[in-house]
Structure formats: C-alpha cells, structure tokens
C-alpha cells in the first residue's frame, strides 16, 4: 500500500526522502517553505536533482506539495487574491522542478462575501494559474470552521466542474469527520464514500490525508490525533483504510508527534490495520 507522512525539508528538499524512509513510508508530502509566511520556494537545481534521484532510487512517491496556509482562493480582497495566485503558481512551478505530480490547496474562506461568491472567486483564481503537464492541483476537503469552504462535498464538486483545469481532490479524514461526515463505523464509512462518489466522484480522489480527529463529528474543529486513538477510532480507521474506494490512493499522514508517538508509529499502525507487512 502507499502510505507515508508529511516530512520536513530542513537541510534540503532531498532530505525529505531520507526522513520518509526512516519512518517506513513510501509516499509523502512536503512544504517548500514555512507555510505560515509569504515566502517563495528556494530549491536549487542540484537539490532538486537529488530529490528526484533519491525518490526514484528508493521508489518513494507520489509526493505532494502542500501550499501555504496563507493562500485564500475564496477571498474577495484583491491584494490577498493576487498574493494567493502568485504563491500557488510558484508552488506549481516547484512541483514541475521536482517532478512532483500534485499541489494541494485549501479553498480558503469567503470572509463575508457569501458561499457562492467564495466558490466563484476560487474558480476564477484557479483558472489564472498555468499548470504544466505532469502537475495536478488537488482541492483539499476542509473542516469548515468560520466562513471556510470545502467542507461540503458539493463545494468540491462545483470547483471541479467549473474550473477549466483538470483538478482532483485530496480527502482529509479528520476534516471530513469534523465537517459532519461520519467515519467512526464501517457502515458510516460506506455511507460517506457513497455520498462522495455521488457528488465529487471517486475517480477524482487522488490523495488522502489520513488523520484521526481529537474532536467529535460535526464540530468543525480541526485537530489531528494518532490513527485509531481519536474520535474516528480504530473501527472507523480500519474500515476506511481497507475500503476498496481508496485502493490504490496514496495515504499521507499529518498526525501529531506526542505521547511518544510520531510518524513511524502511525505508519506502522496503518499497516497493522491494513494487514500490510511491507
């Protein structure tokens, strides 16, 4: 199975491959810079080549670039919109440089403009981007606090249908659960996948952020927990991990490092629940 974690690029982006291998992962995700500030990726050609070579040599991939947390595609503010588009374009260019197939982004918040206007703002912002062959933008499901969009499958469906780009979706289990789609039992997992397929379409699911949730279903609270140790729980996580809908979708962990458990523990936990020894 394809399972890995969001790894640091400290010391050079190629180091993310080594960290992934140390944690037992075979796919993963990175930030190209701190996600909390407006900053451009700074990856030289030598490091990019080393990243590509190590990934190929050790068969680690696919990788995903996660865009900055500051990006807001739904915003009605011209200045923030321009910064968001510029930031996304640079992430897309970095993905092409690194031969990374996916750039993941949250839609953002409409901040009072209204749900429909926010969605339309996101579509028009996305359509200003130049996306080269070999790179696909993933729209991530959101927990939906405040005026953030992407918490409803209908939102994701609308963006995919209206954009001129061939977009796909990253489903975050903690976000989906917080947004009100239950994943805590095998029956609930089946129901949620049925709802997803009827709107977004399972053929548009390219990646999963696999996280348990510290908060109950429908709370709109985004706080990740170790696999099987949160409110989704072991039964729900096991059902999700083994569901035919996500085979062979890459599973990327964004679980916390606490209680003596980190990415290695969580990757092993996923493999245990999947009965996958490799």
Beta bridge partners of 253: 5, 210
Q: Would you say 33 is a known binding-site residue?
A: no
Three-state SS string across the chain, please? Answer: CCEEEECCCCCCCCHHHHHHHHHCCCCEEECCCCCCCCCCCCCCHHHHHHHHHHHHHCCCCCEEEECCCCCCCCCCCHHHHHHHHHHHHHHHHHHHHHCCCEEEECCCECCCCCHHHHHHHHHHHHCCCCCCCCCEEEEECCCCCCCECCCCHHHHHHHHHHCCCCCEEEEEHHHHHHCCCCCCCHHHHHHHHHHHHHHCCHHHEEEEEECEECCCCCCCCCCEECCCCCCCHHHHHHHHHCCHHHCCCCEEECCCCECCECHHHHHHHHHHHHCCCC
Q: Would you say 58 is a known binding-site residue?
A: no
Q: Would you say 106 is a known binding-site residue?
A: yes
Q: Would you say 172 is a known binding-site residue?
A: yes
Q: Would you say 203 is a known binding-site residue?
A: no
Contact 271, 277 (CB under 8 A): yes
Q: Would you say 155 is a known binding-site residue?
A: no
Q: Would you say 140 is a known binding-site residue?
A: yes
Comparing CA positions, the residue from 198, 208, 278, 204 lying closest to residue 243 is 208
Measured in whole angstroms, the distance separating CA 54 from the mean position of its chain's CA atoms is: 22
Q: Would you say 6 is a known binding-site residue?
A: no
Contact 148, 225 (CB under 8 A): no
Q: Would you say 254 is a known binding-site residue?
A: yes
Beta bridge partners of 103: 65, 137
Annotated binding site: 66, 106, 140, 172, 175, 209, 222, 224, 254
Annotated binding site for Zn(2+): 66, 106, 140, 172, 175, 209, 222, 224, 254
């Amino acid at each position: 199975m394809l399972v890995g974690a969001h790894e640091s690029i400290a010391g050079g982006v190629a180091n993310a491959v080594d960290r992934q291998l140390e944690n037992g992962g075979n796919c993963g995700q990175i930030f190209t810079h701190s996600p909390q500030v407006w900053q451009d990726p700074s990856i030289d050609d030598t490091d990019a080549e080393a990243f590509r070579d190590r990934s190929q040599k050790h068969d680690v991939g696919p990788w995903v670039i996660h865009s900055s947390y500051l990006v807001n595609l739904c915003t009605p503010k011209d200045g923030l919109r321009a910064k968001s588009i510029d930031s996304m374009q640079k992430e897309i260019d970095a993905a092409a440089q690194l031969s990374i197939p996916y750039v993941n982004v949250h839609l953002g918040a409409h901040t009072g403009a209204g749900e429909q206007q926010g969605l339309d703002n996101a579509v028009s912002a996305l359509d200003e981007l130049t996306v080269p062959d070999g790179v696909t933008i993933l729209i991530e499901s959101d927990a939906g606090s405040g005026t953030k969009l992407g918490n409803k499958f209908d939102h994701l469906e609308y963006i995919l249908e209206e954009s001129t780009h061939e977009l796909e979706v990253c489903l975050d289990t903690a976000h989906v659960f917080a947004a009100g789609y239950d994943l805590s039992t095998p029956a609930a997992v089946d129901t949620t996948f049925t709802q997803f397929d009827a709107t977004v379409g399972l053929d548009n699911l390219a990646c999963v952020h696999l996280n348990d949730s510290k908060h109950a279903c429908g709370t709109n609270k985004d706080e990740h927990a170790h696999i099987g140790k949160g409110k989704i729980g072991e039964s729900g996580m096991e059902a999700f991990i083994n569901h035919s809908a996500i085979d062979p979708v890459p599973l990327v962990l964004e679980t916390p490092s606490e209680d003596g458990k980190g990415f290695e523990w969580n990757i092993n936990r996923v493999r245990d629940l999947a009965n996958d020894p490799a």
